[in-house]
Structure formats: C-alpha cells, structure tokens
Amino acid sequence: MLSAIHSLLDNTYEEMVDIRRYLHQHPELSFQETETAKYIANYYEKLGIPYEKNVGGNGIVATLKGAKPGKTVAFRADFDALPIQDEKDVPYKSQIPGVMHACGHDGHTATLLTFAKVMQQFQNDLEGSIVFIHQHAEEYAPGGAKPIVEAGALKDVDAVFGTHLWATLPLGSIYSTHQAIMAGTDRFEITIQGKGGHGAIPQDTKDAIVIGAEAVSQLQQIVSRRLSPLSSAVISIGIFEAGNAFNIIADQSKLVGTVRHFDTAVQEKIIQEMEQILKGVCDSFGASYTFDYVKGYPPVINHPEQTDLVLQTTKEIDGVDIAAITDPLMVGEDFAYYLLEKPGAFFLTGANLEGNDYPHHHPRFDIDEKAMLIAAKAFANIYLTYQEQAK
C-alpha cells in the first residue's frame, strides 16, 4: 500500500504546488487567517472528510477514519504568515502589501491537504484514524497550538507528528533529535527611570542611557558567568530606546529582548539573575526600573521512540539522502504544546532552493517545492509504520 500511496502523491504534486502558490499569494497574519481557514475548510468539504472549524480560534481539525481498527495519529500544519514585504521576483509573489509567507507555512498546509486527499483514497484499507490539524497563529504568541490542545483536538490521539520545511537545509535531508529540537522562547521589557537634564550639567542627572548600557553589559554576562557552561541559553537585547535630543540627558530608557532556553530550571535561574542585576545597577545609580518578563513557547521536546520512528521510516523515501540527528535550534515553535500533551516528534525537512539561500523570515525567502512531496511521503511512512508497530 505504501508504494501506491507514494505513487498517488507523485501524481498530486502539481496540485500541491498550486495550493502552495495560491496561499503564498494570499497570506494572512496570525489570528487574522479567516480566508485561509475558509480555504482549508472548503477543501475538506469537497473531499467529504469530516472537519471542525474555529478550533481554538481559526484552527481546522479534520479526521479520516480508516475502515480497520487501529491507533489515532495526528499531523499538524500551521498556516499563518508574517508582517514582511515579499521581495521575490516570482509569479506567485504575495499580493498583500507587507504580508508574506516567509517561513514555509503555505508549504506545510499544501503538504497536509494533499496528504489527506491521497490517504482518503485508501480509507478502506487504513487501520486507525488520521487527524489533520491545521493550526493558526504559530508565529505570534500566545500562538494557536495551546488553544487547539485545550479545545480537545488531541483527546483521542495516540501520537502526534509535525515537520517544518527548512530552507537552509539541502533538499533530500531530514533531521530530528531525541530530545529538545527547538528552544523555549521568552520576551522581556525593561524600563529604567532616571532623571533627565541638560547635557552640559550631567552631575544633576541620573542618565538613563548610561544606566541602560550598564544593564545591557551585565545582562550579557549571565550566560557566560552565571550559568553552567553545559546549560545552553541565549539572552539578546533587540531594542534599546532612549532620548529625543542631542543635548538632553534622557530620563528614561527602554530595553526589549528575548531569552532562549531548553530547560525550565535554566529559565527560572535567568529570570532571577536578571532581576538581581537590574536591582543592583539601578540602586547604584539611584534610579528605578520595571521588569516585565513574558514566558513564551516552551521548548519543543521530542519523544525518543517517535523520533526513532521518524528517522527510520524516512530513510526509505525515494529522494531522501540523509535522515539523521541534528543539533537543537534556538528558534521557537508552539508545536511544543502538542508534545507536552501526547507522545510524538517534530522534524525538519530540507527545502533549500538552489540559488536562493535566504533564511526564514527574510523578504526573499523561498523553498524548493519538491520538499513538500518528501514531507507528505514522510507522513505516510510514519503513519503506516506506527500502525504496524502498535499491533
């Protein structure tokens, strides 16, 4: 049956490309994906596969029940876009100014939809059930995964899998890991309140820029000097705002940044150290501060048994040259919430387009669309092997 599924997927490749390119031309931002959700729902409506809409927001969850008893396996694809202007010179360039599928979610959606269409044609031979989770708002916290899980999408699911088409990995490669594959991603905002004044009379001020600079310098020492070298983490300041005139000492400065981690104990240690540093720096200058720390997506932590299943089964796919372990990435993904709820694994499908080496979230981002076909075949291999191993 697997070879027949692969053959049928090959035959639907053009449709897969058409879906991806349509979605690429009509992107919608996180939590605003109403037309994309309608498109997905209409696709399942035409197939006659039962589905639920407005799951946890704009989510769509469809279920294909096989004719034979077996396990229930879920596959997830996200479908939101980013606030980026598409700068590619291609026929399928985004038609929405300032909005672009710059992370491959259009490809994820096209992959899952055509996978559903093909698997339906084998419904009488299938064991168990397939749940197709189309998730909104992956790009913007609090994200769509958590409310979809809370809505009960995984209630009867035995295992859950997902992939990310990865533009900086070569086509024909698949990578995963037995533990954390992506980091927890937090956001913080610090406001330092000093005392402004004339640039010629600094002794009467409490310079919020100097205080902010000192805070930045010390915050960068948390990872290098206050954490174990074996504890991976990142603290990055992305915004430093202060002042509005060349000859005025600023009374206030604002720092905004991100923390990345793979361990909640490390996360808590970082928060504690940040608070201590800010208090010490501001006290020494006679200034005050506010510290707003928002815990974002948790780390994406794979389950070893399901990771082995991914790597073992995808090696057999025609066109896959390597299926191997990868180092974890410091980027975030709310697929983490599914793996906190059920066993499963997340993996990367190489999608580098020759001649286009732009990374995710870049205005010229693009993928080799043949990666979608590999991803769909990977889903098929994972599903059938999971059912076989569960007997």
Question: Which residues carry a binding-site annotation for Mn(2+)?
Answer: 103, 105, 139, 164, 361
Whether 341 is a known active-site residue: answer no
Contacts of 251 (CB under 8 A, 6+ apart): 193, 194, 195, 196, 197, 205, 206, 208
Whether 28 is a known active-site residue: answer no
Largest Cα span, the chain: 83
- The CA distance from 233 to 222, in Å, is 9
Going 144 to 178 to 232 to 171, the CA torsion angle's sign is negative
- The CA distance from 106 to 110, in Å, is 6
Own/partner pairs, 214-217, CB within 8 angstroms, 24+ separation: 214/281, 214/285, 215/190, 215/255, 215/277, 215/278, 215/281, 215/282, 216/240, 216/255
Q: How many other C-beta atoms are found inside a 10 Å radius of the C-beta of residue 4?
A: 12
**Is 301 in contact with 343 (CB distance < 8 Å)?**
no
- The CA distance from 105 to 111, in Å, is 10
Rounded (10°) CA dihedral 318, 319, 324, 327: -150
Q: How many other C-beta atoms are found inside a 10 Å radius of the C-beta of residue 19?
A: 23
Exposure of 228 by Cβ count < 10 A (0-12 exposed, 13-18 middle, 19+ buried)? Answer: exposed
Catalytic one of 106, 138, 333, 366: 138
- The CA distance from 361 to 100, in Å, is 9
- The CA distance from 281 to 301, in Å, is 36
Going 234 to 235 to 239 to 240, the CA torsion angle's sign is negative
Catalytic one of 28, 33, 78, 80: 80
* Catalytic residue list: 80, 138
